A and B are shown apart, each in its own frame.
Chain A
């Protein structure tokens, strides 16, 4: 059965810290991995990763895919209270099937 597992399930850090969120997948005919930030209920798209080893960056956020390890990480440096959210990871396979992980709930303390 295809699955996406995120860890940790929740994380509390202080403002300014760096955090690393993990996502592992077991998916038939894997194509891409996606990261979303969910706050106020509706997720917003962050990254789509298709190639292994190529880092994608957007400001203080970066993500990389490791197809050998079947995993991805999302890094957030110099965290701010506005980074508090649920971060969702999802896999997309070549049959157009999308599977989401349960998310990591990140809370940044001021």
Chain B
């Protein structure tokens, strides 16, 4: 069935470790996005990609990295340089950057 898959749902890591969050879609969408959400705040854009092998920094890209080697996949790596990595991470896709976005179920990352 079609949709956006983010795994795992919950992720725990020790401080200082890099961690990669998965986002896979079979909607054939060109655009993909990563957001983080913190309590009491709206969604903030980390990175986005308009097409395979291309991606752009969002508002809070520091401490994160992404790749877009395949249309279906847009993994996000939270590096040890990210000062406050504990958050809820949402992946979204869209037909293009000018179309509405559809969100995955999210991954809650806890770093201790």
Interface residues, chain A, CB within 8 Å of chain B?
A: 4, 31-32, 34, 41-45, 48, 88, 90, 92, 96-103
Contact = CB atoms under 8 A, between A and B. Distances in A.
B43 A100 contact: yes
Nearest to B103: A42
A92 B98 contact: yes
Given A42-B90, A43-B43, A102-B40, A96 B48 contact: yes
Interface of B: 33, 35, 37, 40-45, 48, 50, 56, 58-59, 88, 90, 97-106
Closest 5 CB pairs of A and B: A100-B42, A45-B100, A96-B97, A100-B43, A42-B103
A44 B103 contact: yes
A102 B74 CA distance: 25
